[in-house]
Amino acid sequence: MRIVITGGDGLIGKNIAPYLTRHHECFSLTASEWDVTDEEAGRRVIRELNPDLVINLAAITDVDLCEDEIELAERVNVYGAECVARLCAEYGIGLVHFSTDYVFNGKKGSPYTEDDTPEPLSVYGRTKLESEKKVRNFHPSPLIIRTQWVYGDGGKNFITKVLDAAKKKDRIEVVNDQFGSPTYAADLAEPLELLFELKKSGIYHVANSGICSWYDLAKEVFRIKKISVDLVPVSSEEIKRRAKRPPFSALSTEKLKKDTGFSLRPWKEALEEYLTQL
């Protein structure tokens, strides 16, 4: 299968491309190689590479930046997704579109299923929800994958930030009232491949198993790396961020397990592997 990845230089793209390249002819493109907001640029890429599948990872994912750059977030996250979906539909190409747990408000108190009603709290969450709607409106059978709390090689993420902070500070404050499932980006590749090979469409939640707070995650990072630091739990109110975050946004992956027989490993196991080779 010939696969094109948009936003291939992002965190997820860098981590899934090595796996996909071993099994498929895979082209991982940067924004300069395919600006998803430029329909003609996309048309040229499709004519040149003739893909069977496009995996759309192009997005503005900085949650706080989206609050300040609303037009940019809407153009890339919403209009860009629409352009990709229209082109894939026009040329008869399969489409995988990535989304986020931030489409939910976090008030449910238990893991969200694909059937739960979204209610985003932030510009980022809203634009990603709108991107899902655009993809479903303009492509006949898209596969939409929601994931969360992603980390991995080749990009800044929560784990690299707390490790950098530990080099500079003796005391680190981390919120203890937001809960989700830390997800190793490399672990997304196999279930992704299973879903598109089984020709699944619609929305699927894909994340490592288990739930923790950001504080719990930081504590586990320092335990594995044997770093001694004064780690202090604080509330979201104490850490003033521009964008609101859902307090509990864990995703249920039962649909993935039911339809593919596949379950992602526990987050602690994945984290240990990542940190060991970091």
Write the burial class of residue 79 (CB in 10 Å: 0-12 exposed, 13-18 middle, 19+ buried). middle
CB atoms within 10 A of CB 83: 23
* Identity of the residue numbered 166: A
- Exposed, middle or buried, 224 (CB in 10 Å: 0-12/13-18/19+)? middle
Vertex 120: Cα angle to 114 and 126 (nearest 5): 100
> Hey, CA dihedral for 205, 206, 210, 211, is it positive or negative?
negative
124, 151, 204, 274: which is the annotated catalytic residue?
A: 124
- Taking CA atoms, 252 is separated from 60, 187, 228, in Å, by 25, 16, 34
Establish whether 102 is a catalytic residue.
no
Helix (H) / strand (E) element for 144: namely: strand 143-147
Instruction: Cite the DSSP H helix spans in the chain.
Output: 11-23, 39-49, 63-68, 70-73, 80-90, 123-138, 158-168, 189-197, 214-225, 254-260, 267-277
* Residue pair 69/212 in contact by the 8 Å Cβ criterion: no
Check: CB of residue 80 under 8 Å from CB of residue 36.
yes
Q: Which amino acid is at 143?
A: L
List, by residue number, the catalytic residues.
124
